[in-house]
Structure 1
Amino acid sequence: MEPTEPTPQDPTRRPAPETLSYPERGATRHRPLPAGYHHLGHRTAIGHGPEVFARAGAAVTGFAMHRAAGVRVRAADRAEPGGSVEISAGLGPVRLAVPCEVVWTDQDPARVGFAYGTRPGHPECGEESFVVELAPDGTVWFEVTAFSRPARWYTRLAGPVVPVLQHAYARHCGRVLRRLAAAS
């Protein structure tokens, strides 16, 4: 059976193959990041040990980190390649819902995470990854990597404010994940 577009009733159905709004699928995993985009890289230590790593990995791939950071997420219970994700942020009734697609996942003994890419209708064009790594010394790191550029008139108008907000969100996610991973 051929993948289909998600429906409002089932946002987790697999989207059709060419649904991203940019051609560099997977570039957050296979560097270098493409030219012509704003680049974001943020890395923060969130704890120590395999238990923290396991909790952090589950919080990232299960979207608990996003939700705890104040973002609404409509997606499957776990990030899977090809899965649709709808992210919405805002205050009260003023929310912007944006369509994304999970483009890759990692589930290795020392690296867990995923990336989603923008779909048509998203105010930005690009990809963002959220990865938890367990270093040989036991330190657990959280890294956000992204490339993006405006795709709508209002994000072009916002100019340099958008990358500043993206970096602030990456730092916020690190703080939230540190708290989630420390909880027992």
Structure 2
Amino acid sequence: MTTPGPADPALTYAEVGATSGTLPPGYHHLDVARVVGQGRDWFDVAAARVLTWEVQRRAGLEVAATREVALGVRAVLRMRVGPVPVRAPVEVVVVTAEPDRVGFAYGTLEGHPERGEERFEVVLRPDGAVEARIRAFSRPGRWFTRLAGPVGRRLQRSTTTRYLDALTQPVPDAS
């Protein structure tokens, strides 16, 4: 992770990397897994989608990042909530690259509507199933997310479903 300079926004939470283990108390927790495909070829496709921000783009978010996922890379995710544009700056805080497990976690930066961390991971299980898992811990970081209350949680769940759908969608036919 890079150390922020004077003009760089800082991470907004202390539990960096906690999506790798026990989720910390004091936050809303999310932990969802789904089988998204079968076999090494599909695992490779899903892993590539995770490591290139394609999951977020396929879920309907705009991603402004200087490069693919790597430790310390910062990005700004943009989405619309109804007519309102929402800007969510993040920093990649964990990257996992193993033969049968690939993923990353990003943490929220100042200016993000939430405070916390979200992890995206795909695993090739011994039975050949490709499982996608999204884990997160978060709490409101801005006045409007505190005001949104349960509506904000529903939005997070629906975005998580779109992320998983983005890993399930078939590869476009090259013909």
Task: Report the TM-score, using the length of structure 2 for normalisation.
Answer: 0.90
Q: What is the identity, as a one-letter code, of the residue corresponding to 1:140?
A: V
Secondary structure at the aligned position of 1:28 is classed as helix
Q: Give the superposition deviation at 1:41.
A: 0.8
- Size of the aligned set, in residue pairs, is 172
Secondary structure at the aligned position of 1:97 is classed as strand
Q: Percent identity?
A: 42
Partner of 2:70: 80
Q: Give the superposition deviation at 1:94.
A: 3.8
Return the match for 2:26 from 36, 40, 52: 36
Secondary structure at the aligned position of 2:106 is classed as strand
Distance change in 2, residues 1:150/1:3 (3 Å): closer
1:93-146 per-residue CA deviation (whole Å, 9 max, x = no partner) reads: 742111110001111101011010001111100000000110000000111000
Q: Give the superposition deviation at 1:76.
A: 3.2
Q: What is the identity, as a one-letter code, of the residue corresponding to 1:145?
A: R
Partner of 1:45: 35
Partner of 1:170: 160
Return the match for 2:12 from 8, 13, 21: 21
1:38-74 per-residue CA deviation (whole Å, 9 max, x = no partner) reads: 0001101100000000000000110112111110001
CA distance in 2, matches of 1:125, 1:156: 11
Q: Give the superposition deviation at 1:173.
A: 1.2
Partner of 1:145: 135
Task: Please tell me whether the aligned partners of residues 78 and 87 of structure 2 are also in contact (alpha carbons under 8 angstroms).
Answer: yes
CA distance in 2, matches of 1:93, 1:145: 28
CA distance in 2, matches of 1:119, 1:4: 10
Q: Is residue 2:120 matched to residue 1:130?
A: yes
CA distance in 1, matches of 2:3, 2:114: 24
Q: Give the superposition deviation at 1:171.
A: 1.2
Gapped runs of 5+ residues in structure 1? 8-14
Return the match for 1:158 from 126, 148, 155: 148
Runs of 4+ in 1 over 3 A off after TM superposition: 2-5, 91-94
Gapped runs of 5+ residues in structure 2? none
